[in-house]
Amino acid sequence: MKITFLGATRTVTGSKYLISTDTKKILVDCGLFQGYKELRLRNWNKLPFDAQKIDAVILTHAHIDHSGYLPLLVKNGFKGKIYCTPGTRDLCAILLPDSGHIQEEDANRANRYNYSKHKPALPLYTRDEAITALDQFSPIDFNEPYQLFKNITISFSPAGHIIGSSVVRLEYQNKSIVFSGDLGRPHHLVMKSPAIVSSTDYLVIESTYGDRLHDRSNPLDQIADVVQHTAANGGSVIIPAFAVGRSQDILYCLYQLKKAKRIPDIPIFLDSPMAENVSDLLIKHLNEHTLTREQCKETCQTAQYIKTPDESKAIDQIKTPSIIISASGMVEGGRILHHLKVFLPDHHNTILLTGYQDPGTRGDRLMRGESEIKIHGEMIPVRARIVAMSNMSAHADYEEIIGWLKNFKQKPKKTFITHGDQDSTLSLKNKIEQTLGWKCEIPEYLQSEVL
C-alpha cells in the first residue's frame, strides 16, 4: 500500500490523503485549501489522479477543510461511495451546500464589483453540485468495522472534535494505518473525549496546536467579562464563529451565563442560515457529547435565529447592546463580513475571536492588531476592541496529543505529522521523538511513501 499526501502538509487545510493498493485507490478526506491565496489557488489545480479512478472516499469529519473538495471530485467524475459516520453525513448535508452557496455568492460579488482578475469569476462548485454529491454518502456507525473491498477494512472511532468526527483506521492485508483526523480534547466544554487507540503500523496525526498549549482558564469567565464590559459601554459583541461546533459551544456558555445572571439580558443572535439545523443535530447525536436533551434544547433557545439576508442586515441597525454570532470563524467569508463592516469602526464594540486563526486570514490580521482590514475591496478601520480566546479550542494541544499517543501499547513503525503550520509540525515532531522515541516524518505536498 502507498500513501500520497495531497494536502494538509505544513498547513492546516486541504486534508487529502490518497491510499493506493494494487487494485484500489481510496481518498481519506477530501478538503478544500483555505487561508493564503497561494493555498486557495491549489483548489483550482488539476489533481494528480483521475477522479473517475478513485474507488472510495473516507471522511474523518465534516469540516470544509476535510470535506469541501468532494463536490468538485464528484463533478470531475468520481462515482464511488463516500464513507463516514452518520453525524458527519448529517453535517455535510448542511455544510457542503452552504460551501457551494458561499462560493457562488463570492463569485457573483466579485463580478458585480469587478474585483477579480478572472472575467467572469466562477465558483469552484455550486450549491446544486454540492447537493448532488450528497447522494454518494454511505454512513457507517462508530466502532463497526466495515469491509470496504477485499482485504480492506475500515473503522471509525470517536475523535471528540465535532459531531460525527472520527479517528479512521484502515487495514489492508496485515497492515494498518490510523488517521487522527482533527483530534478533540480530554476536557472539552461539550464534546466527549477522543476514543483510545492502542496500536497501528502507521499513524497520520494532526498538529494544529503542535507548538502551543491552550489557556486552561474557564471560557465562561472570559466571555462573562467581555459581555459585561462591552454592554456597559453601550457596545455590541460580535463573535465570528464557525456555524458547526463552535457556535453551539458559545451558545452553551451564554446559556449558562444568562441562567446564572452573570451577563445582562441582551439579545443574542445566531446569524447563519444553517445554524438552526446544526443545533438540531446536538439532540440527534446525544451519545457524542455531554449535554442532556434538556440542556441541548435550552442551549439552542438561548439565541434568536437569523435566517434571511434582510434579517441579518436589520440586526446591524439595533442601537442597543447585543451579541451577534456569525460565520465564518476566521472572517474569510459569510455574513460576518457585513457585520464587521458596521461594527469594526466603533470603539464601543468588541470582536471576540474564539478559534484558531489561520495565518493570512482576516481573523489572523485582527488578532495581530492591524489598524484596518480589507472587506469586499474596501478598507475598514479597526477601532473595536479585539479579544482572542485561547481556551475554547476543539483541537487537542501538544500536551493533550502526547497524552493521547501515550495510550499506544507499541510504537507505530512511522508517524506522519500533518495538519499544522511549519512551526507546529516541527515542534510536535520533536516532542514525539523526545517524549515517546517514535520515528516521525513531516511529509511534503505530493510526497508518496510505500507502507
Q: Cβ closer to Zn ion: 248 or 349?
A: 248
Cis peptide upstream of residue 120 (ω within 30 degrees of 0): yes
Q: Cβ closer to Zn ion: 63 or 188?
A: 63
**Min dist. Cβ of residue 14 to Zn ion (A):** 12
Q: Cβ closer to Zn ion: 63 or 289?
A: 63
Q: Cβ closer to Zn ion: 86 or 329?
A: 329
Q: Cβ atoms within 10 A of the Cβ of 394, count?
A: 26
Site for Zn ion in 166-185 (CB under 5 A): 182
**Min dist. Cβ of residue 39 to Zn ion (A):** 16
Q: Cβ atoms within 10 A of the Cβ of 163, count?
A: 24
DSSP letters, 266-297, are: --EEEE-TTHHHHHHHHHHTGGGBS--HHHHH
Rounded CA-CA distance 35/81 in Å is 29
**Min dist. Cβ of residue 88 to Zn ion (A):** 11
Q: Which stretch binds Zn ion (CB under 5 A): 20-28, 58-66, 219-227, 307-315?
A: 58-66
Q: Cβ closer to Zn ion: 61 or 339?
A: 61
Nearest of 101, 97, 55 to residue 79 by alpha carbon: 55
Site size with Zn ion, rule: CB under 5 A: 2
Under the binding rule (CB under 5 A), the answer on residue 188 touching Zn ion is no
HSE on the CB side for 392, CA within 13 Å?
27
Pairing assessment for the beta strands 323-326 and 350-353 based on DSSP bridges: unpaired
**Min dist. Cβ of residue 331 to Zn ion (A):** 17
Rounded CA-CA distance 111/124 in Å is 15
Under the binding rule (CB under 5 A), the answer on residue 63 touching Zn ion is yes
**Min dist. Cβ of residue 221 to Zn ion (A):** 26
The answer to whether 365 and 351 are in contact (CB under 8 A) is no
Residue span 200-229 as binding mask against Zn ion, x where in contact by CB under 5 A, dash where not: ------------------------------
Under the binding rule (CB under 5 A), the answer on residue 249 touching Zn ion is no
Whose cell is 437569523? That residue is 306
**Min dist. Cβ of residue 169 to Zn ion (A):** 18
Q: Cβ closer to Zn ion: 161 or 339?
A: 161
Residue 124's SS3 state is coil
Site residues for Zn ion per CB under 5 A? 63, 182
